[in-house]
Amino acid sequence: MSSITSLGVGSGMDLESLVSSMVSLKKSSKVTPISNKEALKELEVTGLSNLKSSMTSFKDYLKTITDGTAVNKRTVETTLDKDHPDFSYEMDKDVSNCSHDIAVTQLAQGTKLKGLASSDNFFSEQDADGNTVYRSRNSGQISFTVGSGDNAQSFSIDVSENDSLSTIIKKVNSAQGNDSVSMNYIVGSDGNINIMLQSSKTGDGNDLRISGDVGILGMTGNGADNEVQNAQNAKMQVDGIEVSSSTNKFSDQISGLDFTAKRVSEKDDQGNYKTSNITISEDSSGMKDVINGFASKFQSLMSTCDKLSAKNTYTNGKCNYDGGDLAGDPICNSVKSSMKDVINNYRTSDGKTLYQMGISIDKDGKLSVDSEKLGSMLDNNYEGVISTMQDLSDKMTIAIEKYTKSGTGILIQRSESANNEWKDLKTRLSSMDDYMAKYEERLRKKYTSLDTIIANMNSNMSYITSMMANNSGNN
């Protein structure tokens, strides 16, 4: 039997074309319909994803309006040195228009006390590493008090004879009840060991005082004679009026504003403190930007809907599939209708429409802003415009969430369903690929066998013909 290496070689018939035609016909009847459905479903999945993305982008912008992030209610002008400001400031959300001339005249501070580790109270020795260690000659108890009266905070430590200076520092800094006093030492150029006590509690009356065996620290009495810095309030002059605070933070003393003193203001040639001005006014320009941003985001969503829902064109009755990913899908028109209804039906608490504020929408969903009309409204009712935009954004967000809310949103459910159908079609296509491969394999086996049979028949026929011709010649 002849060996067939290429389909049709043995028989001389075009069996390769026959198999290809039969495979193509089978594919056209079995695979192509599923492939077409899969391609259309992929377009739907992509279109729904793009629509969701556009709606989410708009919703994110709306959130910045409702939570006030994008709404700069006031604009601030100041003569503060940007690199080295005398103070910083924070505005309350309801701050009124104002202008203040401010100077920092005093910073808040806590108490500092200085003692001396002299030979009377300390001796020195070398440790095993050759380092100098200062040890107390005396023992006793030292008490520390910050402030007075009901607000006083007190604690005590016990010092043992031969305690090192480092040990005493640790006892003070980690003492139970100590939340403001720190101890350290400074070695001066004269070689003296200066013992420093410092309180972080600032403000008038919050002085650090000591009692007990204070001589251990090279101090006397209650430490007042050892004071190198007293506790004091921070002070500012605001329009010539002095205000003070126990810390460098000034809260609830200037309506609508909080200040933090950074440094004492410089003085002029006459010895007067130089002031920095801060002026706060309505930010009409910024609010216009917010509203124009709203219109831009709205229009972007409308344009996305139009692009996705663009209809396919036809040539000689055959679809060209040149429309949007969601051509013929009603969801885009549904979204546009919902968004336009919010604009058209919106009314303020006193019955005004958005048109009266300068915002209008045409029948195609194009939103426009009349800058002159909006400017007039901002001049006459600035806070009212802000309130309206926040309320409008809140209502628009509710309308969007009808489509995008996790689990229940129309668009979310549609997307989930479309994705599942797309995955199912891709699985079916994968199965059809296996089916077609096996179908072609069966055809090739069948026609290879036929090719072999015909080839053998042709070979036998040639042999018989040759034999008959030889016999005829011999006769």
Same domain, yes or no: 245 and 157: no
The pLDDT-based confidence of 455 (bands split at 50, 70, 90) is low
Instruction: Tell me the sheet residues that pair with 432.
Output: none
pLDDT digits (tens, 9 = 90+) for 220-229: 999 999 999 9
Q: Is the pLDDT of residue 4 over 90?
A: no
Task: Answer yes or no: do 326 and 377 share one domain.
Answer: yes
For residue 337, give the amino acid letter: S
- Any domain includes 435: no
Q: Does the pLDDT of residue 1 top 60, yes or no?
A: no
CA angle (35 as vertex; 30, 39 as ends), nearest 5: 165
DSSP code, position 97: P
For residue range 180-195, list pLDDT tens digits in order: 999 999 999 998 999 9
Whether 203 and 118 share a structural domain = yes
Domain contains 458: no
Q: Domain check: are 46 and 79 in the same one?
A: no
pLDDT tens readout for residues 133-176? 999 999 999 999 999 988 899 999 999 999 999 999 999 999 99
CA distances from 460 to 17, 464, 469, 470 (A): 26, 6, 14, 15
Q: Where are the alpha helices (DSSP H) in 347-409?
A: 371-380, 382-404
Confidence check: pLDDT of 294 > 70? yes
Q: Are 215 and 260 part of one and the same domain?
A: no
Task: Tell me the pLDDT tens digit for each residue of 299-313.
Answer: 999 999 999 999 888
- The type of residue at 373 is K
CB atoms within 10 A of CB 282: 19
- Residue 306's H or E segment, with its range, is helix 284-309
Chain segment 207-251, per-residue pLDDT in tens:
999 999 999 999 999 999 999 999 999 999 999 999 999 999 999
What contacts 217, CB < 8 A, 6 or more positions away? Answer: 115, 121, 142, 168, 195, 197, 210
Residues 83 and 133 in one domain: no
Residues 6+ apart with CB under 8 A from 42: 422
Same domain, 306 and 251: no
Among the listed residues 219, 210, 221, the one whose alpha carbon sits nearest the alpha carbon of residue 142: 210
Between 394 and 431, name the one with better pLDDT.
394
Residues 58 and 92 occupy one common structural domain: no
On whether both 152 and 212 belong to a single domain, the answer is yes
| Residue type for position 79 | T
Within 10 angstroms of residue 14's Cβ, the number of other Cβ atoms is 12
Identify the domain containing residue 136 by its residue range.
112-229
Q: With respect to residue 275, please indicate whether it lies within any of the assigned structural domains.
A: yes
- Residues 290 and 278 placed together within one structural domain of the fold: no
Q: Are residues 318 and 178 in the same domain?
A: no
Question: Structure pTM?
Answer: 0.59
Give the pLDDT confidence score for residue 450 in this predicted structure.
Answer: 65
Domain boundary among 260, 282, 304: 282
Amino acid at the residue 164: S
In a domain, 380, yes or no: yes
Is the pLDDT score of 10 beyond 60? no
117-121, 139-143, 202-206: segment of lowest average pLDDT: 117-121
Residue 465 lies in a domain: no
**Does residue 2 carry a pLDDT above 60?**
no
Residues in the chain: 475
The neighbour count for residue 142, using CB atoms within 10 Å, is 23
| Lowest-pLDDT choice from 83-97, 263-277, 438-452 | 438-452
pLDDT digits (tens, 9 = 90+) for 28-65: 666 667 767 777 778 888 989 999 999 999 999 999 99
309 lies in a domain? yes
Per the structure, the count of domains in the chain is: 3
DSSP state, 8?
T
Kindly state whether residue 62 falls inside one of the protein's structural domains: yes
C-alpha to C-alpha distance for 71 and 85, rounded to whole angstroms:
26
Domain end among 210, 229, 248: 229
**Cα distance between residue 99 and residue 76, in whole Å:** 10
> Mean pLDDT across the chain, nearest whole number?
87
Q: Is the pLDDT of residue 471 over 80?
A: no
How would you classify residue 380: left for phi > 0, otherwise alpha for psi between -120 and 50, otherwise beta?
alpha
pLDDT of residue 5: 46
Cα separations in angstroms, 191 against 117, 150, 167 = 11, 41, 21
pLDDT at 394 over 50: yes
Domain boundary among 186, 212, 229: 229
Tell whether 475 is covered by a domain. Answer: no
Structure tokens at 431: 């199965």
> Do both 292 and 399 map to the same domain?
yes
Whether the pLDDT of residue 128 is over 90: the answer is no
Under the banding of pLDDT at 50, 70 and 90, the label for residue 18 is: low
